[in-house]
A and B are shown apart, each in its own frame.
Chain A
Amino acid sequence: MFKLLKYALYDILKSRFAIIYTVFLALVAISIYQVSDDLSKVSLSLMNIMILFIPLIAAVFATTHFYNNLEFIELMLAQPVKRIHVFLSQLLAVVIMLSLSILLGFGLPMLLWGADSSLLTLLAVGVVLSSVFAGFAFLASVLTRDKAKAIGVSLALWIYFSLVYDGLVLYVIYSFADYPLEKTTLALVMLNPVDLGRILMLMQLDISALMGYTGAFFQQFFSSGSGILISTGMLLIWMLIPNFLATRVFRKRDF
């Protein structure tokens, strides 16, 4: 397992993509640090970029990576190693690479110019979102037989979670505005990893506005650590579900 992971990691870290991605993230972070005059603005701008692009890049990269390495995977499957190890090594390699890129690309500028709790949350959310969407991408890849189709499914998931879903929630909120919606909204938001990441950031950046709630339920959710605890827990579940499903499908898949 570790040997497999080691080679998968070597392979991926040597690729041009890893370097380009890290440099791109670093450039974005550096330019934002240069333009903004205080940290909360930095985390705001970084968050806007992160919520949108990190899932996209994770999804597309993971899918292409899977298909590019399909031959290697097939070769490995012919060897006396466990199926699950072959798959997990590929998956973990992708997740580790994406996370390292974020940690280095965003983290180094933070080391240079300082960070606060919201920026640290941002790093964590970035890592989590990467692994969630890498999981989705692997799931899409093992479910389809065609690279183009798999990329299409990953992109569709990305659009759904970062745009369509919020539109639907907004529609629900608007249609049922006369009813107490606090719990419903919160539950709906829990069902979307991108929204969860965003809520964790909101609790750092806009806590003053969030505390303006009339509902006692919300007050409680936001004021104590329980809000952070629940959303982190949900995010972890979101991290596990697609990866778990992808592993299951892969174990039974016929190559």
Chain B
Amino acid sequence: MLIFFGFSVEAAKIILKPGQSIQAAVDRAVAGDTLIFSPGVYTASAVTIRKPLSLIGENYPVMDGENKGNIFLIAAENVLVRGLKFIRTGKSNMDDSAAIKFFDSKNCTVENNILEDTFFGLHFSNSSNLTIRNNKVKASATREFEVGNGIHLWKCKDNLIEKNEVSGHRDGIYLEFVTNSLAKENFIQGNMRYGLHFMFSHDNTYLRNTFKRNGAGVAVMYTKNVTMQENRFEENWGSSAYGILLKDISDSKVIGNTFQKNTVGIYMEGSSRIQFKENNFRENGWALKLMASCDQNLFQANNFSGNTFDISTNGNTVLNELKENYWDKYEGYDLNRDKIGDVPYRPINLYSMIVEKIPASVMLWRSFMVTLLDRMEKILPTMTPNEMIDHSPKMRPYDFG
């Protein structure tokens, strides 16, 4: 690190003008040099970088890929790419065309860039210690197969993905075999498929990100030790859209998140030992779809308010625990004034079971008939699972600020 620092102090600054070949400049430069791009439009295709360089743009010079393949290919350590604007990569699934594609790299930083109309935005494989910060990645495809992922990492570790804005891509952020990484304060909006999609990506933390109006919300699979904290999952609407879909996730924490106006707040199956605490579920169609294949999950001190249905499930087995949550539909009383309701709350109502079986019957929701049915079931539970119960419902909502 020190040696590298020494380098960069004496390193040369090479200034590029539009029209010059970027590849030639890169080839001439020595390790540690800084390439400064003057404003203007550069045509760039498959510029290959194999040594530590800093590429810095002044006033967002445009790297135009002219719809041919990748723009930058990087396989090196200590590369910095800052302040560039990338447009028009190729559109091919054969080589996964991307604005910048990193292979086998280390300690690289990509920040303050603008990417428009790229197939894949930033594509990293087999790399580590990456910093991806403050990039605006935007695609304008109309169909899912016409576009790749915004920020795509495969087999990377120890990364920081921070304050990026991704929209219009297939998946906003896609992680596969990515470990020990932190994604925070990203704004992922309006992507065709998932806002965040990860698989086999253990020990990662997601902090204060916003996932809004993505085609199918957020889907995460086959992973353990995930921490999701203070994220917002909003307005994911559709027949298979979820705030988060958790499939085979274990030993994780979901704390302080807000799920608002999603068709399904959280859908989970095959997941175990996850703690859900201090989350806000507001105005979702279903706050939780908790499949019977989940076990040992704990839901504690969450707010459920304004949801059409609080919880639905697909079987009678309940191996999860609900406690000290606030449910706005709770109608019990609190005689000893300890702010905990004296009668337990059953978050599954009869009609949500019926809707689960016959979706079209949602049309009758809130009719007098259905209200009567629900009342009867509340008094004499026959169809709803007996153990799905909160023994200590709070009388007042938590104030999470």
Is A5 in contact with chain B by the CB < 8 A criterion? no
- Known pairs A38-B306, A41-B306, A195-B367; A211 contacts B263 (CB<8 A): yes
Contact mask for chain A residues 28-52; partner B; CB cutoff 8 A; 1 contact, 0 none: 0000000001101100100110011
B154 / chain A contacts, CB cutoff of 8 Å = none
Give how many A-B residue pairs fall within 8 Å (CB-CB): 109
B241 / chain A contacts, CB cutoff of 8 Å = 211-212
A208 nearest in chain B by CB position: B285
The stretch that binds A, out of B131-139, B199-207, B293-301, B368-376, is B368-376
Quick check: A189 and B363 within 8 Å, CB to CB? Answer: yes
Quick check: B366 and A202 within 8 Å, CB to CB? Answer: yes
A51 nearest in chain B by CB position: B368
Instruction: State how many angstroms separate the Cβ of B251 from the closest Cβ of chain A.
Output: 30
CA distance A208 to B264 in the complex (A): 8
The stretch that binds A, out of B50-58, B156-164, B168-176, B354-362, is B354-362
Quick check: B366 and A211 within 8 Å, CB to CB? Answer: no
- Known pairs A208-B263, A208-B285; A185 contacts B237 (CB<8 A): no
B357 / chain A contacts, CB cutoff of 8 Å = 177
Interface residues of A in 42-89 (CB under 8 A from B): 44, 47-48, 51-52
Instruction: State how many angstroms separate the Cβ of A223 from the closest Cβ of chain B.
Output: 8
Quick check: B263 and A214 within 8 Å, CB to CB? Answer: no
Is B302 in contact with chain A by the CB < 8 A criterion? no
A241 / chain B contacts, CB cutoff of 8 Å = none
CA distance A41 to B306 in the complex (A): 7
Q: Which of A185, A207, A219, A223 contacts B363 (CB 8 A)?
A: A185
Q: Which of A37, A162, A185, A189 contacts B368 (CB 8 A)?
A: A162
CA distance A198 to B362 in the complex (A): 12
Is B308 in contact with chain A by the CB < 8 A criterion? yes
Is A169 in contact with chain B by the CB < 8 A criterion? yes
* A contacts with B: majority SS: helix
Is A174 in contact with chain B by the CB < 8 A criterion? yes
CA distance A51 to B368 in the complex (A): 8
Is B336 in contact with chain A by the CB < 8 A criterion? no
A165 nearest in chain B by CB position: B369
Contact mask for chain A residues 161-200; partner B; CB cutoff 8 A; 1 contact, 0 none: 0110011011001100100011011100100001100110
- Known pairs A166-B369, A212-B285, A213-B239; A41 contacts B360 (CB<8 A): no
Quick check: B359 and A212 within 8 Å, CB to CB? Answer: yes
Is A111 in contact with chain B by the CB < 8 A criterion? no
Is B15 in contact with chain A by the CB < 8 A criterion? no
Is A26 in contact with chain B by the CB < 8 A criterion? no
A182 / chain B contacts, CB cutoff of 8 Å = 360
A166 / chain B contacts, CB cutoff of 8 Å = 364, 367-370
Q: Which of A41, A48, A173 contacts B328 (CB 8 A)?
A: A41
- Known pairs A40-B306, A177-B357; A211 contacts B237 (CB<8 A): yes
CA distance A40 to B365 in the complex (A): 16
CA distance A202 to B371 in the complex (A): 14
B359 / chain A contacts, CB cutoff of 8 Å = 212-215
A206 / chain B contacts, CB cutoff of 8 Å = 285, 308, 365-366
CA distance A143 to B363 in the complex (A): 33
Instruction: State how many angstroms separate the Cβ of B285 from the closest Cβ of chain A.
Output: 3
CA distance A65 to B239 in the complex (A): 49
A209 nearest in chain B by CB position: B285
CA distance A38 to B283 in the complex (A): 12
Q: Which of B238, B360, B369 contacts A163 (CB 8 A)?
A: B369
B370 / chain A contacts, CB cutoff of 8 Å = 166, 170
14 contacts between A and B (CB under 8 A): A44-B366, A174-B361, A177-B358, A181-B360, A184-B360, A186-B363, A195-B363, A202-B366, A205-B366, A208-B263, A209-B263, A211-B239, A212-B238, A212-B239
User: Which residues on A are within 8 Å of B, measured CB to CB?
Assistant: 37-38, 40-41, 44, 47-48, 51-52, 162-163, 166-167, 169-170, 173-174, 177, 181-182, 184-186, 189, 194-195, 198-199, 201-202, 205-215, 219, 223
Lowest 4 A-B CB distances belong to which pairs?
Answer: A209-B285, A166-B369, A209-B308, A208-B285
